[in-house]
Structures are given as C-alpha cells and as structure tokens.
Amino acid sequence: MILTAYTDGASRGNPGQSGIGVVFFNNKEEIVAQLSEYIGEATNNVAEYTAVIRALEKGLELGGVEISLFTDSELLAKQINGEYAVRNEGLIPLYKQVINLKGEFDKFKVTHVPREKNKIADGLANQAIDNHKK
C-alpha cells in the first residue's frame, strides 16, 4: 500500500502537556486512519518526532510499503533529510528510531509543508491534549 501521512506534535508550554496527531491517506486521497495521542510532558520537537515515529509504526501496521510524510516542522524535515545535524541530546534517540523505521519501507519521503496545509494533524494533536485534561 502507498500511504501519505500528515504528522504534527503540539506542546503547550514547551515543555508542557503534549500530544501528537497523524492522518493517513491512501493513493485515492481517502483517509484510511488517524492517530490522536497524549504523550505527557514534552517539548514541541519531541512531540514532532514522536508523531513521525507513530506514523511510521502505524504505516507498517497498515501494510504500507511506501510512505510520504508531511510535517510543518521544518527542523524535523531537514534533520531527517540530512540537511541539518541533530545536536540536541534528547532528540538523537528519536532521530535514530525514525531512521531505523524508515528503512522498513521500500520508499520513504518527508516534506515540510506550511502550517495551514497540516490542519487535520494539528487538530488531532491538540485534541489529544484537550481530551487528556477532561
């Protein structure tokens, strides 16, 4: 299966209460799965990486062989694409996990998109935080 996933991580406080959101589309642009998960206290960058990790894990569960990820985190996209080094000690293990997981796919691509093109994933990430507070 060829998948497209939009990912987002949200942190209220940075670090603060955090959540992740992921929406998956098939090659017919139909939504095939969504994730909205509270991850506890984290920085925004940790939340962004966690969203990508969950997207890759779920993509494999869905039977994905190719995956294109879209994120509004330019830093994350450039780090995964090798344009920027990962210097933050807390992000290095998450980065390594992403690199290992992306190797499970025949094709993998991550692209930075403007925030306004990532509204569904953003809504899911914020929903996770809101639902946790109830």
Q: 134 pLDDT exceeds 90? A: no
Q: How does residue 64 score in pLDDT terms, banded at 50, 70 and 90?
A: very high
Residue 28 has pLDDT above 90, yes or no: yes
**Which one, of 22, 30, 86, 88, lies nearest residue 56 by Cα?**
22
- Round to the nearest angstrom and report the end-to-end CA distance of the chain: 37
Using a cut of 0.75, tell me whether the model's pTM lies above it. Answer: yes
Which domains does the chain possess?
Answer: 2-84+94-127 (3.30.420.10)
Instruction: Report, as an integer, the average pLDDT of 91-100.
Output: 98
Residues 6 or more apart whose Cβ sits within 8 Å of residue 93: none
Nearest to 47 by CA among 86, 85, 12: 12
